[in-house]
Amino acid sequence: MKKIKSNRKKAVILAGAICLATIGGISAYLTDYDKTVNQFTVGKVDIQLEEPGWKPEEHTKIEPGKDIQKDPQIRNTGVNDAFVYLEVSVPMADVIAADQEGNRLEQKVQELFSFSAKNSWTKLETKRKTDNVVYVYSYNNILKPEETTESLFDTIKFLNIIEGQLDTQQLDMPVRAYAIQTSYTGGDKGTIPEQAKAAYEKYVNQNRGQEGQVTE
């Protein structure tokens, strides 16, 4: 009987030793550490104005009434979606033109070239600037990176002027392209053309007096 009691006592002592070890371990806390670094890449709006059908060497001696291949379009070479616009400046002159039957018309100041814009573009404004009429069009779709718009037109027509008025004169018809990010510029209501119009006003305001300003 004494031997049994001795074993029991020993067992109690061992149990007590385990308990003390556990209590002592409470002072060493389990910890961990982690972190995250958020990297942001600044976007870029970048466009390229293209006229794949334009061949300047073929238009050094244009005749009255001639159809000239000219097809301005915009390619998005940036990384952000964009609203895009084309501005076309048509030269004017005080000349006499003839109708399709060859009849002389009244002399007046008139545009020397005409064109028909495609339905994928919306005219935003028309304004007179010195000896030019300036047209501004917005594209009816958001232009995503690597996409290209449909051309605004494919040909322009030289006014059927009476000979001897503009002989050997060089005529210029400048085309300019503009773009602005779609986020936070056009609002989130209305159609794409309506949003593009609102965004265009922001482009005009931000670039006034800068190299990229519109013709005013």
Cβ atoms within 10 Å of 29's Cβ, excluding its own: 5
Contact 175, 192 (CB under 8 A): no
Q: Where are the domains of the chain?
A: 47-207
Determine the Cα–Cα distance for residues 62 and 210; give it in Å rounded to an integer: 35
Residue 35: the pLDDT is 59
Strand partners, 129: 132
Name residues whose C-beta falls within 8 Å of residue 124's C-beta, 6 or more positions apart in sequence: 85, 136, 137, 138, 197, 200
User: If we measure between CA atoms, which residue out of 133, 141, 137 comes closest to residue 153?
Assistant: 137
The one-digit pLDDT tens for each residue of the chain (216 residues) are 444 444 433 333 334 444 434 445 556 666 566 656 766 767 789 999 999 998 888 888 889 999 999 999 999 999 999 999 999 999 999 999 999 898 999 999 999 999 999 999 999 999 999 899 999 999 999 999 999 999 999 999 999 999 889 988 899 999 999 999 999 999 888 999 999 999 999 999 999 999 999 998
Contact 84, 74 (CB under 8 A): yes
Residue 39: the pLDDT is 63
Q: Give the strands of the sheet with 155-158, arranged side by side.
A: 67-69, 155-158, 113-114
What is the β-pairing status of strands 132-139 and 82-95?
antiparallel
Which numeric CATH code is attached to 47-207?
2.60.40
φ, ψ at 215 (rounded to 5°): -75, 120
